[in-house]
Amino acid sequence: MENLPIEHLEIGSQNYHDLKTDLNRTDRHVLKEMGFVCHVEHPHKFISNYLAILETSPELRQEAWNLANDRCILEEGIAALRSQYNY
């Protein structure tokens, strides 16, 4: 085994971004191969339709929208995924 120099990645560099993107993509492929179904559902598209049909008050609409925003805010770089295992 060779003594290779340690190369540090600069956070925010293009190389860091590319490696991070590749790792996330590979992670999704591994989960799919293991039988998981991973997809992202954005609650905002449902909220507008449901609240319009129900003819809710502006206050309730705003509260629902705030809750949807809170649900979608996670640690940086993490997507909200709902996974199911298929047998």
Query: pLDDT per position in the chain (87 positions), as tens?
Result: 678 888 888 999 999 999 999 999 999 899 888 888 777 677 778 888 888 899 888 888 888 888 887 776 654 444 444 444 443
Residue 24 lies inside a defined structural domain of this protein: yes
Q: Is the pTM of this model over 0.75?
A: no
**7 located within any domain:** no
Burial level of 28, CB count in 10 A (0-12/13-18/19+)? middle
Q: 58 is in which domain, residue-wise?
A: 14-85
Give a yes or no: residue 1 inside a domain: no
CA gap 29, 36 in Å, rounded:
10
In a domain, 6, yes or no: no
Q: Is residue 8 part of a domain?
A: no
CB-based contact 19:9 (threshold 8 Å): yes
As for how many domains the chain has, the answer is: 1
| Residues forming a β-bridge with 84 | 37
Q: 43 lies in a domain?
A: yes
